[in-house]
Amino acid sequence: MSEFNETTGLTRLFRAFGYSLQGFRACYQYEAAFRQEVLVALFVVPLGFWLGEGGVEKALLVGSWLIVMIVELLNSAVEATVDRFGPEHHKLSGRAKDIGSAAVFLSISFAVMVWALILLPRYL
């Protein structure tokens, strides 16, 4: 790539932001799990800000669900990459998809644990 084609500064930031929006749109359009997690976020994020006592609790409650969405984005990227190479089954492709799914499961488990550890002692 020549030095004249490289972008720096604000131009690079604006383009990167545009690519990020394209990624959000694509994941929302093609991934049902991500759509479901966005719907949960519409409820959980405001609730986390409301129920959290202090900045740390708010960050943990809200952030734990944002981690779920981040992991889902990464899992969807892995799945799209695997699918790009063809629909035929290969054990490594299946393993990659299973590992991505396990990561999503662990992130959801983490979010549930954070919410439980913060809120259950307060309300029991």
The angle formed by the CA atoms of residues 37, 40 and 46, to the nearest 5 degrees, is 130
Percentage of residues of the chain with pLDDT beyond 90: 84
Domain total in the chain: 2
Query: Is the model's pLDDT at 2 over the cut of 70?
Result: no
- Alpha carbon distance 64, 48 (integer Å): 10
Structure tokens, 55: 């900045």
pLDDT tens track for 81-107: 998 887 888 999 999 999 999 999 999
pLDDT tens track for 53-62: 999 999 999 9
Do 45 and 25 fall into the same domain? no
Do 40 and 53 fall into the same domain? yes
What lies within 8 Å, CB to CB, of 62 at 6+ separation is 44, 45, 48, 49, 52
Residues catalogued as catalytic: 72
Do 99 and 42 fall into the same domain? yes
The angle formed by the CA atoms of residues 72, 62 and 22, to the nearest 5 degrees, is 40
- Alpha carbon distance 106, 43 (integer Å): 21
